[in-house]
A and B are shown apart, each in its own frame.
Chain A
Amino acid sequence: MISPHIRFDHLDPTAWRRVHHLLAPPRPGAPASARSQSPMPLVLFIEKGQCVKALRPGTGRLDPKDFPWSGTFSLGRHRRTVGAPIAFAVEDDALDRIAAVIDRRLLAGDDLAAQLLEASRAGRAELGRGVHVDPDVLGLLPVPSYAALQKTFDTLVPDDRSIALFLFDSSRGDPWCSLIIAKQGGDAVRVTTHAALGVRAPDFRGGRHKELLMALESKVARPHAALFATLDAWREIVGPEPGALATQVALGRAVIDPAPPWVVALTGAGAVAGVAQIASSLFGRFVPQAVKDTARAMSPFAALGFDPIEAFMKIRRSF
């Protein structure tokens, strides 16, 4: 899925930093206290049923006596006490066991996706035994097979095509940030940004995104799916509201072009879910099951056996 020769190019430091923060953009209106709260996890090491070490990365050691251990339930309490977004407890030799499994299962040449799947499997095998997590985000995220992941990737992006995301801040003359991925032979072969396209594109609205698409085709690969959105629209899209993507497209704050069938399905499914939620449980139940089932069947994530966007939203809500 990831070529050993994958190329990363035209990454401007500012724009690249923005890409890093894309999935967790600052929440507009979030109180300052929430923003200043340390995002670092709480980590406890447990031996013979007792907490023998407590720490927070970047902050350092905490007194283990402050974290008496009585199972996963106590982990949640300790997490809330220190205000950590997530807490881990590692019992006895769990890390060694996980490392041993990874060493045994990893093969030379496994790509990063395969490596992460193996590491996730090894970690999940210890969940509830040697490793405890609160909130249980690992439990929310099933670990698919590599083949299922590859099939999903192939559905999302055919070979010799690209997918792209362009975000715009109206106060700037260029995209605020962008991410372009090109695929060949089943593998992602290039990751780049609008800087590789060599065109100035101050806005995408009114059909002006076409210039970027043409450049994308000539400089990288024919686009299979591309999303153009304002920064505010993006914040809504990755926010908690289902159907936000369809809403933003309808409002003209986002454009999907080209839009392969899976994008249409995804947007439609989101809109259906959104309607169901907005209409509250009383009306939501009248959304025909058949409509929901059709949307699910058309999902590009069918091969995975779960909806990663839904899982992502659940994880976000957990924090």
Chain B
Amino acid sequence: MPAGAVTLSSRGLRLRGEELPLVSGAMHYFRVPRRRWRACLEAVKALGFPIVETYVPWGVHELRAGAFDWSGQRDLGAFLDEAAAVGLRALVRPGPHINAELAWFGMPQRVLSDPRMQARTARGTPAVLVAPPRAFPVPSYASRVFLDEVKGWYAAVAEIVAPRLFPAGPVVALQVDNEHAWFFRSGAFDADYHEEALAAWREESGGVEPPRRFDGSTPAALALQLAWLGFRERRIAAHLHTLGALLDEAGLRGVPRTHNFPPTEPGVYDVAEAERVLDVAGIDLYHFRRQYDAVRRRALYLAGTSRLPYAPELGVGGFPWGPPFTDEDATRTLLNALMHGVAGYNAYMTVERDRWYGAPVSEEGELRPGPVAEALRRVNAAIAQSPWGALERRAPVGVIVPRGYGRLALASSHLGPIGPAIGEWLGLDEEATAREESFGLEGPVQLEQQRWRRAVLSTLDRAHVPYVIIDASASLAALQQRRALIVASYDFLDAGLASRLRAFVAGGGRLLTGPRRPRLDDAFAAVDHALPGDAFDAAALADPAALGEAIGKLVAAAGLGGTAAAKEPDVDVTLHQRSDGAPTFLFVGTRSDRPHTATVVLDRALDLEDVLTGERFSGASPAIPLAPFGVRMLRVA
């Protein structure tokens, strides 16, 4: 947590007593003619965004090594001053990697062409990214030479940004890098085998050679694969930590630091681990409205894992070589994310720019006709007029899938070099791509864990039990925010997690595990984890009624009860309350692809107003019409 003038709450930023939601609109000053900055910034503010977010592209500003251009349309200082003059705060994202659909992902070509800085594949070749408009060898964050270059870049950025950090200027947050995930080369054995990355691995592993392809032939081989993937996960946090230290060194400190992971399922990237080295890590959300379940899972994961559940890029429109998103996709994704616990978002993009479509504000600073601008304005107004910082969606149950099971799925993926970020675009999840073998375990854990997740989450949904998804690496303090935990347990389990679960139960929490009793640690050494609490077996997992009974027992023992629920099994209801229990927002959403009317059962009569349409509902069991995969945000009058 920063010790500076800007601090974090669980719902936003605190600026010397002023509460500010972490809600921003994205604008790229370097892509908008300077004469139009003011009009665009005023439009961002008119949409109700308190913060403007911008990338700072290294490759655009650097003329040659050590020489930077901050003039004209590249005048970042003038842009930030203009934002302040309009009354906006700023979130600045100086990379080094920004993507932003720029050639070379916004980095200087001279840096990328230096072999000393290039990430390596398992075969030792440079890891080249297939990307429009031009391919490029991706950099290695393990390379000291690369980090020295980044240091120079951050120093240049600091000259402009440091004097404009809050309270002297509008900058209230900084993002460290962008979608730090091996540049989409995230297959288990794809990259990074840079010699300095390997040196770090050898130091951690005691000189063992890293695996370069999947081998599940023996427990020892399997353990090595999982250790490698654990190492890679920690390297992401280590890189973010190093970049943070470089920001410190440059004098860019005192405001919260954020990071965005690519759109992926809970547990692919480790938000809890990232938040050990920076303040807030989120997941980008680019989704079609039909992907209701995916958005919901990711929001529930952020709500259960992050100290400030945040969508650092919530897609409003899209890039031209991606799938064609509509205004409705953006609106539904936003409402769905807020419904399930996301407390901050960055509307990416808010101001149109080259290589983008669908932003609500044109490059001329005018609102584009269409529903998305009005939807954003109304949602932002509802947030601003509410006690946003004091709201909570009470979710006493946490669901955990140990990371080792996901590592096994990734290691054994048939897609080989194609990792989860690309798999996401191809519509392929872990279960679809992981091998079917058991590798000497009681079953194919890499597949079973996905079925477990589906069975447990759908049981909780049917029972209308409010829950969150918690990363298995989350701290004990994070676990203790819940009254009950449901944890997947198969043949092996990370000893650290087992220890935290024991402490959780010792502190009064309720624990339900299953379907197998783990007898190995994640190095496949025999161990008695002595997990306390209740357990269910494989038969219960396969029988919805039996699983429902086991979870029902847990819910009853923990004394949990919902305050709002729908009569329909495929309708979700979430109530966002102040700490005194006063309801402020009621969200109603459906997982169904058909329109229908939901009957919401409340513990008292409420007067409700749809934030987007103004439609009113009242009573203790209002009937709420819903579009297919629809979400409604209702303000409690």
Chain A contact residues, CB within 8 Å of chain B = 2-9, 11-14, 16-17, 20, 40, 45, 52-53, 55, 57-58, 60-61, 64, 90, 93, 95-96, 99-100, 102-104, 106-112, 114-115, 119, 191
Within 8 A of A (CB), among B302-331: 317, 320, 323-327
Which of B166-174, B352-360, B555-563 forms part of the interface with chain A? B352-360
Task: Contact check, B127 vs A103: say whether CB atoms are below 8 A apart.
Answer: yes
B579 at the interface (CB under 8 A from A): no
Is B416's CB under 8 angstroms from A96's CB?
A: yes
State whether B324 touches A103 (Cβ < 8 A): no
- Asked if B123 and A103 make an inter-chain contact with CB atoms under 8 angstroms apart, the answer reads yes
* CB neighbours of A45 from chain B (8 A): 414
Contacts of A3 in B (CB 8 A): 133
Q: Is the CB of B135 within 8 A of A108?
A: yes
Give the segment of B376-384, B394-402, B424-432 that binds chain A: B424-432
Query: Would you call B428 and A110 a contact (CB within 8 A)?
Result: no
A99 near B417 with CB under 8 A, answer yes
Chain B residues with CB below 8 A from A100, complex form: 121, 123, 125
Interface contact B135-A14, CB-CB below 8 Å: no
- Which single member of A16, A96, A109, A111 contacts B324 (CB below 8 Å)? A16
Main secondary structure of the interface of A (DSSP, over half): mixed
Contact A52 B357 (CB under 8 A): no
Whole-angstrom CA separation of A2 from B133 in the bound complex: 7
Residues of A within 8 A of B130 (CB): 102, 106, 115, 119
How far is B429's CA from A251's CA once the two chains are assembled, in angstroms?
Answer: 49
B355 touches A112 (CB 8 A): no
Q: With an 8 A cutoff between CB atoms, is B143 at the interface?
A: no
Inter-chain contacts of B320 with A (CB < 8 A):
8, 11, 16, 191
Nearest-neighbor residue (CB-CB) of A106 within chain B? B128
Interchain CB contact under 8 A, B432 and A8: no
Measured between beta carbons, the chain B residues less than 8 angstroms from A106 are: 128, 130, 135
Q: Which of B134-164 contact A (CB under 8 A)?
A: 134-137
CB of B135 within 8 A of CB of A2, answer: no
Contact A108 B103 (CB under 8 A): no
Q: Report whether B414 and A112 are in contact in the complex, using a CB–CB cutoff of 8 Å.
A: no
CB–CB A6/B427 < 8 A: no
Q: Given A2-B133, A13-B317, A106-B135, A93 and B416 touching (CB < 8 A)?
A: yes
The answer to whether A110 and B134 touch (CB under 8 A), given A13-B326, A53-B436, is: yes
Q: Does B447 contact A (CB under 8 A)?
A: yes
Knowing A61-B432, A61-B447, A96-B417, the reply to whether A13 touches B135 (Cβ < 8 A) is no
Are A12's CB and B135's CB within 8 A? Answer: no
* A4/B134 in contact, CB under 8 A: yes
Given contacts A107-B135, A110-B135, 18 further A-B contacts (CB under 8 A): A3-B133, A5-B103, A7-B354, A8-B354, A8-B355, A11-B320, A13-B358, A20-B323, A53-B433, A57-B428, A95-B416, A95-B418, A96-B416, A99-B416, A100-B123, A108-B137, A111-B133, A112-B133
11 contacts between A and B (CB under 8 A): A2-B133, A8-B356, A8-B357, A12-B358, A13-B326, A13-B358, A52-B435, A53-B414, A103-B128, A112-B133, A112-B134
Kindly state the separation between the CA atoms of A64 and B121 in the bound complex, as whole angstroms.
30
B113 at the interface (CB under 8 A from A): yes
Indicate if B263 sits at the interface (CB-CB under 8 A).
no
Question: Once the chains are docked, how many angstroms separate the CA of A111 from the CA of B135?
Answer: 6
B602 interfacial contact with A, CB 8 Å: no
Q: Which residues of B contact A55 (CB under 8 A)?
A: 428, 432-433
Smallest CB gap from A62: residue in B:
B432
- Check if B416 sits within 8 Å of A108, measured CB to CB: no
Q: Which of B114-136 contact A (CB under 8 A)?
A: 121, 123, 125-128, 130-136
A109-B128 Cα distance, complex, nearest whole Å: 10
In-complex Cβ contact of B132 among A2, A5, A99, A107 (8 A)? A2
Chain A residues whose C-beta falls within 8 Å of the C-beta of B355 in the assembled complex = 7-8
Docked Cα-Cα span, A9 to B126, in Å, equals 33
Q: CB of B213 within 8 A of chain A?
A: yes
In the bound complex, what is the Cα–Cα distance between A102 and B356 (angstroms)? 28
B415 at the interface (CB under 8 A from A): yes
Find chain A residues with CB under 8 A from B103 CB.
4-5
* B328: min CB distance to chain A, Å: 10
Are B132's CB and A57's CB within 8 A?
A: no
Contact A13:B327 (CB < 8 A) given known A103-B126, A103-B128: yes
Contact B431 A61 (CB under 8 A): yes
Bound: A111/B121 CA distance, A: 21
Contact A104 B326 (CB under 8 A): no
- With a CB–CB cut-off of 8 A, which chain A residues contact B317? 13
Interchain CA distance A40-B190 in the complex, whole Å: 26
- Chain A neighbourhood of B128, CB < 8 A: 102-103, 106-108
A95 to B249, CA, bound (A): 43
Separation in Å of the B58 CB from the closest CB of chain A?
15
Q: Is the CB of A109 within 8 A of B415?
A: no
Cα distance, A299 to B234, chains bound together (Å) = 57
A13 and B325 contact, CB distance less than 8 A: yes
Task: Report the 10 A-B pairs with minimum CB-CB distance, sorted nearest first.
Answer: A11-B357, A57-B427, A58-B427, A17-B324, A4-B103, A13-B358, A99-B417, A55-B432, A45-B414, A112-B132
A104/B125 in contact, CB under 8 A? yes
Write out the residue numbers on chain A whose beta carbons fall within 8 Å of the beta carbon of B136: 108-109
B84 sits at the interface (CB 8 A): no
Select from chain A the residue with minimum beta-carbon distance to B369. A12
In the complex, B624 has a CB within 8 A of chain A: no
Q: A110: which B residues are within 8 A, CB to CB?
A: 134-135
Any A CB within 8 A of the CB of B520: no
State the CA gap A305–B262 with chains docked (Å). Answer: 41
B478 within 8 A of A: no
Chain B, Cβ-Cβ closest to A116? B130
Q: Is there an interface contact between B324 and A64, defined as CB atoms closer than 8 Å?
A: no
Residue of A nearest to B354 (CB): A7
Least Cβ–Cβ distance between A276 and chain B, in angstroms: 38
